[in-house]
Amino acid sequence: MLKFKEFLAEMFLLEGKIDDLKAQNPGLRPEIDAYADADPSPTKKFVPWLVSQHKKGNVTPDHPDLHQVLGNYDKYKNIHDIKDHSSKTFQEVHNAIMPLIGTGSTKTEIADQGHVKIHDSGDVQAYHVANKEASQKFYGGGPEAGPTNTRWCVSARSEDCRYEESPYGKLYTIHVKGDPDSPYAVHPGHENKETGSITNRHNDGDKEIDTQLETNPKIARLKPAIDAIRKHYDPLAHRLANDHDLTKDEIDKAMGSLKYQKHLLQNPHSHIIMTTLNHPKADNVTSWYAAKNHNPQIALAALNHPKADNETTWSATEHQDPQVRAKAEELMRKFK
């Protein structure tokens, strides 16, 4: 009841403010009503300013951008020094606000646009957390913590937030319905973990992804989400590791990087690996990786590669195939 009375009192004050403006400007009564209707603020704070700007010829009630400027003022007022609209012309405020609308210029918009779903299989969703604002808003702890309330340093709502620091790569998250350890933080480019890192909401340590996929059943069921993250993080690496229909340009690009060469040589399709071995940029590192391949034909091709060296031969001496081991031992005797 008290709130309703306060609302009525406020409405009377607003009506008094508008009536005073009309009394001071009897020739502008229709315009003042129009400006009051256009003003979205509960206190009609823009009306006196609009009337002043109207009298100076800077604005009219039928201005095509009037509603957009007024409706977005509070959202963008802390940007480009437009906090005090009363000291500026309508055109100055208009020119400052209009280019910002819909561009993600506020902290909330930046956070919302930085939290992008990239995988959804019903009970499991994966998100790309593309900026610090999104990390803090959706995953930060403390008194303003959301439903996740994680313990990640990359989401801290303080100056200690390490979102942009090494050794962490881009941040992704995996949400699992009914899992008390969810959400999981995934850094596919963690510089200290060869295959990236994953940790739960309690931050039980950055653990290597592939090791967890092999040993932790709870993580193993997240593989489709992890695959989606890796594909989003590095599309070329994902294709090199999984796609048999690679283009010449993709293979050429990959051969310029040791990281991508490794993906090529781990490709499940033997003809891709043979193409890699025969590439002009293939070297002793290429042959060393290929000699460890379980396919005997690939391992033998690596041993016969013109750039193969002692390291390549040593890596093949423990191969599971006796023919490969024999060839490696023969070459070792020659090296001696």
β-bridge partners, 84: none
Q: How far is the C-alpha of 170 from the C-alpha of 92, rounded, in Å?
A: 39
Cβ neighbour number for residue 18 with a 10 Å cutoff:
20
> pLDDT, tens digit, for every residue of 11-28?
444 555 788 888 999 999
Tell me, what's the pLDDT at 146? Answer: 58
> pLDDT, tens digit, for every residue of 234-258?
888 888 877 778 888 888 888 888 7
β-bridge partners, 116: 128
Question: To which H or E segment does residue 176 belong?
Answer: strand 171-176
Tell me, what's the pLDDT at 5? Answer: 45
Percent of the chain with pLDDT over 90: 40
Phi-psi region of 131 (alpha: psi -120 to 50; beta: other; left: phi over 0): beta
The structure tokens listed for 157 are: 């709502």
The structure tokens listed for 267 are: 């490709």
Tell me, what's the pLDDT at 198? Answer: 96
Q: What is the DSSP string of 92-136?
A: HHHHHHGGGTTTT-SHHHHHHHTEEEEEE-SSEEEEEE-SHHHHH
8 Å CB contact between 114 and 130:
yes
Residue 125, pLDDT > 50, answer: yes
8 Å CB contact between 49 and 38:
no
